[in-house]
Amino acid sequence: MIPARAGAAAAPAGLRELVSDYYELTKPRIIYLLLITTAAAMVMAAHGIPPLALTFWTLVGGALSAGSAGALNCVFDRDIDRLMRRTMMRPLAAGRMAPLPATIYAAVLGVASFALLYAMVNPLAAWLSLIGLVYYVLVYTMWLKRSTTMNIVIGGAAGSLPPLVGWAAVTGSIGAPAIALALLVFLWTPPHFWALALMTGTDYSVAKVPMLPNVHGERRTQIEILIYTIVTAVMAVSLYPLHVMGIWYFVPAVILNGLFLIDAVRLFSGPIKQRSRKLFKFSLLYLALMCAAMVLDRLIIT
């Protein structure tokens, strides 16, 4: 009787680990960030809370698409993932999962995402989401990531699609506020990921991934982060005089971008890993709060 009870206890534990591995394969932390920008664009487009069913299907479809892209990235990058401390415990890199079931899983998520968005939302949202998936996998993962230090800059276009998906889900078209949010995400991406690269030290060098710090050095990376942060701030604040956003957006945008610039400047003094970690963490909060400011502005103006 004792062995039977032990076996019964082991099975659920094994199942939980398997479910956890498939969940981690989708890079859920990235999904959450993408869904924030999708939801923000939907609220802006609707001038309020969109229909709950539409919101649900759009976010589920977006999550499936992003999960498919993340899983395919893990399949393709399993050789370099096992060399980096930050990624070596991912399911494929650690050897807990084989490439074939992971690829099938990713394909099912991708197909389900397109079908769901096409049927339950609208064709434009479905195609935009699919473009983002394909761009992330083919252009960024399979080409840019291993070939150029511009990988994050050019590859950042994939992360800019969710706001367009959210706006398209509500309106069936693409509007200026959604394009503004997409551009903000695009410009925000390099300083965000370069801060991560500075934070992780030699990981990318070991994996022979041409990230800016290990190719051109920390000083060049600090300068590039500052330049992109300045460009991001100018673009973000200019949305008010360009009449894309209103005063309720402008005030928080000035404050948030000022804080972002201060953190970028502080990279030039003090421990580089400590400063880059602070910038990386704030960049996550920055994007979420900028989305909130855009939403607030649209709701109040309405």
Nearest alpha-carbon partner for 183 in 231, 119, 142, 243: 231
pLDDT of residue 2: 39
- pLDDT tens sequence across 124-158: 999 999 999 999 999 999 999 999 999 999 998 99
Over pLDDT 90: what percentage of the chain? 86
Give the CATH number of domain 19-173; options: 1.10.357.140, 3.90.1150.10, 1.10.10.10, 3.40.50.720.
1.10.357.140
Residue 93's pLDDT is: 95
Tokens 């659920």, residue? 12
Structural tokens at position 194: 């370069």
Q: Is the pLDDT of residue 8 over 70?
A: no
- Among 5-14, 242-251, 276-285, the least confident range: 5-14
pLDDT given for residue 5 in this prediction: 41
* Three-state DSSP class for residue 215: helix
Domain ranges in the chain? 19-173, 175-302
- Closest residue by Cα to residue 163 from 171, 152, 151, 155: 171
pLDDT above 50 (res 281): yes
Q: What is the CA radius of gyration of the chain?
A: 20
Residue-level pLDDT at 1? 37
| Residue appearing with tokens 């400047």 | 265
DSSP, collapsed to helix, strand or coil, labels residue 71 as helix
The answer on pLDDT for 260 being more than 70 is: yes
Q: Please check whether residue 221 is in contact with residue 197, taking contact to mean a CB–CB distance below 8 angstroms.
A: yes
| Residue 11 pLDDT class (50, 70, 90 cuts) | very low
